[in-house]
Structure 1
């Protein structure tokens, strides 16, 4: 990786300088507004962003905490020792640790040469990747539990991938896109993150520690893939037939696993796609509705406004005035 970037990351932040000068504890207000120490993505991530990278604060023990997002610790230089759940782990340079919202961890103070980059990622960021994931791997389950909170289990995935050049190259690209953003960085970082996940699945033998408490969610992964690929015409009955399941049993399973009905998941996907088309094209609103699977325009207007606070037309006008 770039020597210049390493030099930049070695520089002290204002928070680190204050810690060295006063020997104070971690300033909680920087990280959370809650009485429980749950680090909030809102403290670092603008509303319109789904992912960012932040250097971990050195020189001080970081107390036990959770996050309301998915965190990926990446050891850019040096090492990182932390207690995750009940297990002490030391990550070496080039290694990764995925943490979901329900796992507690506490981090030993990092020395000056220990440069840790924390990826802060909204769980919904990963919804697009289900089209490309197989349904019988550990990463699929981790992401489903993180996105839909279908269990309250604390989970982590530890990847000893320091020697896997293709993974290190993708990480370098993600870091540069996020730290030095350009016009297309949001889209590019999303694609690179998808590529990272696919490479991690390819090298799943490098997972050295994990905490897993539930069965592989084959039916849920396949259901999410079906919605992603067939949202224009998707129906619960067609999905149930594809999966050789009674439709009522599948409906109950989806609701139990995600806290959403099939109809709600489908509507969420259709509205997100409609928003994307409104933002990127001049297609007429009636055409947008049809493109995402709605032939009742007044119904489309109503649910879009309920979701985004504006009718499709007003939403587009609002965009043009920004």
Structure 2
């Protein structure tokens, strides 16, 4: 992975003082527009559009060949015109603030330690950043969310948010906005990725991809902390929080309990869940329980009957039928097969 200035090249800057000060100095240096061409707002996009005048920034021109993600610094004193992109974008406000215009009239201010997650295809413009406003942009291919680390049941919820193309039939949140002041693990993961690219050591590509996967999981498990801006945001948050509830409480989870916790009627929860995940609340709970059972069968020696109870089933025959429908074999056959693979 090549560390690039947004629309330019970053250079390593040595310095003394704390790690924080050194990193801040590095990012300031990296975000400076060295070439006069970057002062022309129209030229910033034209260098990254596959089709001139399309206003669609292309993933092949901003993400290194053969890579799933890349990182860029935003240059100061230059506005970024309205555009969309065929990749997922995360904007981390390392220092200062920037003002973003999303899908026309929606104005969002990112302050220090804020994180903005943009779905592919979202219309986006940025007002000029000041000299002390340091924004780091992470660009991710949609394929990133099908990387092995993201193929868990929890990961599927975020794959759904990031990779689904909005439809005129449904309200779809185009972005998520997090304040990371109270989410230290997420903040540390972001800064670790930035620091590793500053050092530009061998093997950082794989490490940063794994770190980004952990970050996405961390954000998912803190979905209730996403700031709301409109009805689409609210509905996306309710659906994601419902999925989070199932992940954390699958042995005893019920629609009625979540309805009480969220202070929303069951029919509303059911409709949102089906709309956002294409399966019902109950079907998703069943999938999560079966997945957890499969993990226990391959990673422990706990008896099958105990696993059945542990994942939330009382009827052994019913569980065996569901498991065979899902995996094409009995729990015992599944366990035996996994042993043969090692």
- TM-score range normalised by the length of the shorter chain: 0.5 to 0.7
What is the CA distance between 1:149 and its match in structure 2? 3.6
1:143 lines up with 2:159 in the alignment: yes
Change (3 A) 1:179 1:44: farther
Q: Quote the residue 1:94 is aligned against.
A: 113
1:159 touches 1:207 (CA, 8 Å); kept in 2? yes
Q: 1:71 aligns with which of 89, 94, 114?
A: 89
Q: 1:37 aligns with which of 51, 55, 71?
A: 55
Change (3 A) 1:191 1:130: closer
What is the CA distance between 1:33 and its match in structure 2? 2.7
How many angstroms apart in 2 are the aligned matches of 1:209 and 1:240? 41
How many angstroms apart in 2 are the aligned matches of 1:98 and 1:7? 25
Unaligned runs of 5+ in 1: 231-237, 244-290, 292-322
Change (3 A) 1:14 1:171: closer
Superposed CA deviations along residues 109-145 of structure 1, whole A, max 9, x for unmatched, are 100100100001111112134443438xxxx545325
Q: What secondary structure, in the 3-state scheme, does the structure 2 residue paired with 1:113 have?
A: coil
- The higher radius of gyration belongs to 2
Q: Quote the residue 1:294 is aligned against.
A: none
What is the CA distance between 1:10 and its match in structure 2? 1.2
Q: Quote the residue 2:267 is aligned against.
A: none
Unaligned runs of 5+ in 2: 1-18, 237-271, 296-321, 328-340
2:59 touches 2:87 (CA, 8 Å); kept in 1? yes
Change (3 A) 1:12 1:173: closer
Q: Quote the residue 1:55 is aligned against.
A: 73
Q: Quote the residue 2:182 is aligned against.
A: 163
Superposed CA deviations along residues 51-86 of structure 1, whole A, max 9, x for unmatched, are 111001221221111111000000011011111123
TM-score normalised per structure 2: 0.58
Number of residue equivalences:
230
Q: 1:216 aligns with which of 276, 285, 292?
A: 276
1:69 touches 1:122 (CA, 8 Å); kept in 2? yes
RMSD value, Cα: 3.4
Q: Quote the residue 1:83 is aligned against.
A: 101
Q: Quote the residue 1:132 is aligned against.
A: 152
TM-score normalised per structure 1: 0.61
Q: 1:186 aligns with which of 205, 216, 221?
A: 205
2:186 touches 2:218 (CA, 8 Å); kept in 1? yes
2:33 touches 2:76 (CA, 8 Å); kept in 1? no
How many angstroms apart in 2 are the aligned matches of 1:163 and 1:209? 17
What is the CA distance between 1:100 and its match in structure 2? 1.2
1:64 touches 1:105 (CA, 8 Å); kept in 2? yes
What is the CA distance between 1:15 and its match in structure 2? 4.0
2:145 touches 2:159 (CA, 8 Å); kept in 1? yes
Q: 1:241 aligns with which of 307, 310, 325?
A: 325
2:93 touches 2:114 (CA, 8 Å); kept in 1? yes
1:24 lines up with 2:44 in the alignment: no
Q: What secondary structure, in the 3-state scheme, does the structure 1 residue paired with 2:81 have?
A: strand
1:16 touches 1:58 (CA, 8 Å); kept in 2? no
What is the CA distance between 1:181 and its match in structure 2? 3.3
